[in-house]
Amino acid sequence: MRLIPYPPGVIMGGEVIFKGRDLLAISEAEIRKIRGDEIAMVFQEPTTSLNPLFSIKTQLSESLILHRDMDKEGAAEESVKLLKQVGIPDAERRVNNYPHQFSGGMQQRIMIAMALTCNPDLLIADEPTTSVDVTVQAQLLDIIDRLRTEYGTAVIIITHNLGVIARYVDRVNVMYAGRLVESGETGALFAQPMHPYTMGLLSSVPRLDLPRKHELFVIGGQPPNLARIPPGCAFHPRCQFAIDRCRQEIPELEEITDGRHSACFRSRELPELVGK
Amino acid sequence: MGMDNNNLVEVENLVMYFPVTAGIMRRKVADVKAVDGISFYIKNGETLGLVGESGCGKTTTGRCILRLYEITSGKITFDGVDISKLNKEQMRNMRRNMQLIFQDPFASLDPRQTAGSIIGEPLQVHKLVKGQEYKEQVAELLKMVELEPRMSVRYPHEFSGGQRQRLGLARALAVRPKFIVCDEPVSALDVSIQAQIITLLLRLKQELNLTYLFIAHDLSVVRHISDRVGVMYLGRMAELTRSDELYDNPLHPYTQALLSAVPIPDPAVDRQRKRILLSGDVPSPIFTPGGCHFHPRCSVAMDVCKDQVPEFKDVGNEHWVACWRV
Ligand SMILES: Nc1ncnc2c1ncn2[C@@H]1O[C@H](COP(=O)(O)OP(=O)(O)OP(=O)(O)O)[C@@H](O)[C@H]1O
Ligand SMILES: [Mg+2]
């Protein structure tokens, strides 16, 4: 989205291909158009993207008029429809309210409605549910999921909640210290993780469906300090399977089996190592 | 509630209202009914979990037990003593037995104090050690929470989130308490660090024979760590029973919805589960609904639920529930 402020943030290289175009190579005006129009983003903090000074109707309408060429009346009608879609009760009346008149969970829903005013091809949801409760979290993710199936919007969910991943996503990319360490189809990845970090993560969370007294696996050490990433594989100081090579060389992300990628020298032997 | 000598904490009809004031005269216009009549007990050596949506009164309940608030009404007994009757001096002595750890230990640690003096301070306040022993005790406490004694000269900002939680815990343990209120101690931590702290809390409880009130949002974490779990909704207790029982046989419609909303980190299991969707938001604790607080969101509510508060009662085997349908 090119939203990292410069300075201090600098994109050092690479490409971001969206619908065949490199988003890093286009002009600021072009990226701005894509941002509101084709890619929408839902943030952790609803307050950052809702303007406290305008009513919800004004904010939704403005975007509808801009992105969908609607007239004022049509936009007002569509605003109510969107609020209903994201589960705001009494939408006809509430559309005239201001952001502070809604609870945190409702603000999040309004933000999703806001993201939908432009019929995006891609919706990026960054920890969309950390500040809300489990029941509200389930409501919000169900809404996003319904929009995905109804309108064919592609969705990226950024989260540390493994349950959310298991329930809602088709494919997972696991990151550690700024790199992708594993990727694959959700079912396959949970059934047979191929990177020691993923493996540790999955067995370190308590689960409602397992006997209560089962022991949690503990990944030792501290999360990586990005200013002082260790040489070799960044995970090696915390990895129980680390060998000399891991301390010297950075493993590349490579295909291990069909559609399954992992960045670990020992991925192929891992099932056997764990068996021991 | 039935007096039992094995109960370390007994809470009877606890009510905690915070006044809402308005105008320059600070006239009271309403009450926030943070805790609205709850009763439960915590047995010696057990961990009682407390779950519920944000704002339902979990933290307030914990703070009332520590008597950090003057309660509106009700009775709290600690180790057989009615603590609401204690004077300041008596309460100060009592507080040695009861400690609190929070979600964000950094906020509670003085940034200009070294780790050693943070941990050692309670020892001096309560005059628990003299001279030479002091250093040894601090070192001992650091080891207890799996930090190194040489870290005692460092300042809080030099520790990671998980390490700061360990510091907070060491400080709480310094006075050798019987009881610790753990208020969301792992909620702010990285997934991998959560497991470290949970495992540490379980080990210390075993070794030091501690009793915990463990407050958290995450139902999976609470179930893992608690012997029994209470589910709160809008200032009241909806259900309370053994952890396994709560998850195998939830009786309150709210508990059922809450459990079904938690995604299980295994797609093979999660995608087979039956879901109960809750509509609407939690009502305001100022304008609480009449009758059962949950009735506006309950799919099986009856007429009686709208105007009569269901009694919180034991339906057998210490399974407590407040619902007209049960
Ligand atoms: N000191 C206070 N003054 C006024 N209102 C308060 C005070 N402390 C808590 N409240 C209110 O009491 C209610 C219960 O708050 P409490 O902090 O106990 O909830 P909680 O269950 O711990 O929530 P969370 O999960 O968000 O931590 C909330 O509506 C809160 O705003
Ligand atoms: Mg709280």
Instruction: Name the residue of chain A whose CA is nearest to B159's CA.
Output: A222
Q: What percent of chain A has pLDDT over 70?
A: 96
Going from the Cα of A91 to the center of ligand 2, the distance in angstroms, rounded, reads 31
Please state the rounded mean pLDDT for residues B174-198.
Answer: 92
* pLDDT score at B278: 83
Residue A57: pLDDT band (50, 70, 90) is very high
* Shared domain check, A106 and A44: yes
Q: Is residue B153 part of a domain?
A: no
Q: Whose CA is nearest to atom 26 of ligand 1?
A: B54
Over 80: is that where the pLDDT of A136 sits?
A: no
Q: Is residue A49 part of a domain?
A: yes
Sheet of strand A39-42: strand arrangement? A39-42, A122-126, A154-158
Q: Which residues of B touch A (CB under 8 A)?
A: 53-54, 160, 162-163, 190-196, 198-199, 217, 219-221, 223-225, 243-244, 247, 257-259, 261-271, 275, 277-282
State whether the beta carbon of B235 lies less than 6 angstroms from ligand 1: no
* Shared domain check, A56 and A120: yes
* pLDDT score at B139: 94
State whether the beta carbon of B35 lies less than 6 angstroms from ligand 1: no
Contact A223 B193 (CB under 8 A): yes
Q: Is residue B127 part of a domain?
A: no
State whether the beta carbon of B55 lies less than 6 angstroms from ligand 1: yes
Residues in chain B within 8 Å Cβ distance of A209: 264, 266, 269
Q: Dump pLDDT digits (tens) for A220-275.
A: 888 888 889 999 999 999 999 999 999 999 999 999 999 999 999 999 999 888 87
Over 90: is that where the pLDDT of A151 sits?
A: no
CA B239 – CA B256 distance, rounded (Å): 11
Q: Is residue A162 part of a domain?
A: yes
Over 80: is that where the pLDDT of A163 sits?
A: yes
CB nearest B270 (choices: A167, A202, A238): A167
Over 70: is that where the pLDDT of B217 sits?
A: yes
Size of interface A-B (CB pairs under 8 A): 127
Side chain identity, residue B239: E
Contact A208 B268 (CB under 8 A): no
* Shared domain check, A68 and A157: yes
Q: Is residue A263 part of a domain?
A: yes
Q: Is residue A264 part of a domain?
A: yes
Q: Whose CA is nearest to atom 3 of ligand 1?
A: B18
Angle at alpha carbon of residue A228, lines to A226 and A233, rounded to 5°: 85
Please state the rounded mean pLDDT for residues B257-281.
Answer: 89
Over 60: is that where the pLDDT of A140 sits?
A: yes
Give the contacts of A265 (CB within 8 A, at least 6 positions apart): A233, A243, A245, A246, A249, A251
* Shared domain check, A69 and A10: no
Mapping DSSP onto H, E and C, the string for chain A reads CCCCCCCCCCCCCCCCEECCEECCCCCHHHHHHHHHHCEEEECCCHHHCCCCCCCHHHHHHHHHHHHHCCCHHHHHHHHHHHHHHCCCCCHHHHCCCCHHHCCHHHHHHHHHHHHHCCCCCEEEEECCCCCCCHHHHHHHHHHHHHHHHHHCCEEEEECCCHHHHHHHCCEEEEEECCEEEEEEEHHHHHHCCCCHHHHHHHHHCCCCCCCCCCCCCCCCCCCCCCCCCCCCCCCHHHCCCCCHHHHHCCCCCEEEECCEEECCCCHHHHHHHHHC
Q: Which atom of ligand 1 is nearest to the CA of B60?
A: 18
Residue A60 CA, chain-centre distance (Å), reads 23
CA B64 – CA B58 distance, rounded (Å): 10
Over 80: is that where the pLDDT of B171 sits?
A: yes
State whether the beta carbon of B147 lies less than 6 angstroms from ligand 1: no
Instruction: Name the residue of chain B whose CA is nearest to A135's CA.
Output: B261
CA gyration radius, chain A: 22
**Domain extent for A224:** 198-207+218-275
Over 90: is that where the pLDDT of B30 sits?
A: no
Over 80: is that where the pLDDT of A36 sits?
A: no
CA B320 – CA B310 distance, rounded (Å): 12
Determine phi and psi for B182, rounding to 5 degrees. Answer: -100, 105
| Chain position carrying tokens 């429809």 | A81
CA B119 – CA B101 distance, rounded (Å): 13
Q: To test the ligand 1 pocket, which listed residue (B59, B215, B232) has its Cβ within 8 A of the most ligand atoms?
A: B59
Please state the rounded mean pLDDT for residues B97-125.
Answer: 87
Please state the rounded mean pLDDT for residues B35-42.
Answer: 97
State whether the beta carbon of B34 lies less than 6 angstroms from ligand 1: yes
Instruction: Indicate the number of domains in chain B.
Output: 1
Over 60: is that where the pLDDT of B1 sits?
A: no
* Shared domain check, A127 and A233: no
Over 60: is that where the pLDDT of B3 sits?
A: no
Instruction: Indicate the number of domains in chain A.
Output: 3
Over 60: is that where the pLDDT of A167 sits?
A: yes
CB nearest B191 (choices: A87, A201, A207): A201
* Shared domain check, A162 and A78: yes
Q: Is residue A71 part of a domain?
A: yes
* Shared domain check, A117 and A59: yes
Q: Is residue B160 part of a domain?
A: no
Q: Is residue A174 part of a domain?
A: no
* pLDDT score at B28: 83
Contact A205 B264 (CB under 8 A): no
* Shared domain check, A87 and A15: no
CB nearest B267 (choices: A139, A186, A222): A186
Q: Is residue A178 part of a domain?
A: no
Going from the Cα of B278 to the center of ligand 1, the distance in angstroms, rounded, reads 22
**Domain extent for B277:** 7-110+172-321
Over 70: is that where the pLDDT of A48 sits?
A: no
The average confidence (pLDDT) of chain A is 89
* Shared domain check, A64 and A17: no
Please state the rounded mean pLDDT for residues B18-46.
Answer: 90
CATH number of the structural domain spanning residue B191: 3.40.50.300
Residues in chain A within 8 Å Cβ distance of B281: 103, 105-106, 136
CA B36 – CA B15 distance, rounded (Å): 5
Question: What number is the ipTM of this complex?
Answer: 0.83
Q: Is residue B165 part of a domain?
A: no
Determine phi and psi for A66, rounding to 5 degrees. Answer: -70, -50
Q: Dump pLDDT digits (tens) for A201-233.
A: 999 999 998 888 778 999 988 888 888 999 999
How close does chain A come to B279, measured CA to CA in Å?
8
Q: Is residue B208 part of a domain?
A: yes
Q: What percent of chain B has pLDDT over 70?
A: 98
Contact A207 B265 (CB under 8 A): yes
* Shared domain check, A99 and A72: yes
Q: Is residue B85 part of a domain?
A: yes
Q: Is residue A185 part of a domain?
A: no
* Shared domain check, A82 and A19: no
CA B220 – CA B222 distance, rounded (Å): 6
Contact A136 B281 (CB under 8 A): yes
Q: Dump pLDDT digits (tens) for B39-52.
A: 999 999 999 999 99
* Shared domain check, A259 and A202: yes
pTM for this structure?
A: 0.89
